[in-house]
Structures are given as C-alpha cells and as structure tokens.
A = this chain, B = another copy of it.
C-alpha cells in the first residue's frame, strides 16, 4: 500500500500530461481531470483514475495540482472545486497567472484551512517530459516541504518567497527572456549590417560574457529564419502585459520591459504575432529594411 500523498491533477494538456505521467511513474496515486477527456487516456495506461468533473477528482486527494491555460480558467476551476475541498487538503497551482490572482486564491483557501502554493514552471514541454522543469514556488515553508516529493518527480523546485512570489519569479524569468531576445536580435543585425558573418559572430561570442540560452537557442533560429513556435509573440505580449501590470501595482518603472512591450506589439501589428518570439529579429530587420 502506497504511503505517498494522493494527487488530483486538473488540466492534462500539453504540459500537464507529461507532468502527471512523471508523478504516476514516481508512484503517486493520481486522479486526473481534463476539459477534453481524450487527453486523460494515456495517463490511465500508467494507472491514473479518470474523473468526469474537477469536483470528483479532488474528493479523495491530499494534494490538488492545477495546470491550466490562464488565470481566468484557474479562477473558474478553483471556484468550481472550492465547495468540495476539505480542511488539510492542499492546492498547488502550477499554471502561469498574475501574482495578484495567486495571492487572492491563497487568502480565500486559507479561510477553509486549505494550503496553497503558486508554483509556475519554466522549461517547456521538453522540461515537462524529462522532469527537469524549473519550479518557482511561493507559499509557506511548511507547504513547500509537504509538496517537495511531488515537485521532485517533475523537476527542480525553489521556494522563492510567500504566496505570489512564485508567479512573480516566473514574470522575472519572462522579462529576462523578452529583453535578451531583443539584445541578441540587435547584436546579430549590427553584425550583418556591418558586413560580418552573423553565424560566425554568434560562434565567436559564445562562451564569453554575452553567452546565454537565448543566444544559443533563439540566436540559431534568427540565423536560419526558423520562427515556427515555440513560444509565440502573442503569448510573449501577454506575459509582458502581466509584468507591467504587476510593476504598476508596486509602483515600479521598468524601461527595458516597457520597450520590449512596444516592440513585440509592433511585431504583432506587423503580422508576426503567430511566430516564435525570436521573430522579434525579423521585425527589427524589417523596421531597418534589412
């Protein structure tokens, strides 16, 4: 008989499905719900119990994990399951939503004696499949300790502060990604415009202070013109909007983030919204008639 906590996993889409699969492989009893029930099937093969509604899935769970598309859907599902939650249960929202929404959820659930962690991730479907996600958790130390075994089955977790801090950390991550894409775009355009070989320049500067994951991965996309998403520009704009909303709440001026917002919006207006966010390079090239 397993002594591992029983998990309800709500949202088994592109990210949630491989995450739930890794929990099952690690031996966690798991009840799964998804809006489109077809996506639960591969998990039942691994031992998951498919549930027809979120409320049914959470009934016998120790830990409820949500992995949903956006803040509005998280809000809807949490409202839906709230009457079914019992004191001592715990909710971990691994979706990417606004920090202020995470803080609201945490406060509301606390009144029912239900613990809450916001724990968004970075690493994409590859990280979800290989259980190498960077998990950024906000909440109490006790809640984090309780969630640790489940986190360990999905990636590497860090407690970054109280509720909301996990989502804030994800926004910090997205801010760096957006601006670094701008940095690499402009550097490669400068190299190309001045008559250097941009591919050789990228090779030459790799390993120096300019080195980054973005230079390696997104820089390669810029050189080959492969802008199939990946993370599309419209999603990048939504993320930056969340950053600026949070910054406005705090009263913080972030000039590089503001510039990134303007340029990614221009790129979308320029018809590039569906392309990978590295296509900011293409927008800047077109802007410069290159």
Contacts and interface: CB of A to CB of B under 8 A. Distances in A.
A7 interface: no
Given A136-B204, A169-B204, A208-B213, A252 B190 contact: yes
B164 A201 contact: no
Interface stretch (A64-72, A82-90, A181-189): A181-189
Given A169-B205, A173-B209, A252 B189 contact: yes
Interface in A197-239: 197, 200-201, 203-215, 217
Interface residues of A, number: 77
A213 B253 CA distance: 25
A183 B190 contact: no
Interface string A161-194: 1101100110111111111101110111111011
A140 interface: no
Q: Give the interface centre of A173, A205, A249 by most chain B CB atoms within 10 Å.
A: A205
Given A160-B200, A195-B168, A205-B122, A186 B136 contact: no
Contact of A169 (B158, B159, B183, B191): B191
A250 interface: yes
14 contacts: A165-B195, A169-B196, A172-B190, A173-B187, A173-B208, A175-B190, A176-B187, A176-B215, A179-B256, A194-B250, A208-B213, A209-B213, A212-B212, A255-B284
A279 interface: no
B213 A210 contact: yes
A195 B214 CA distance: 27
Nearest to A253: B288
A49 B4 CA distance: 73
A156 interface: yes
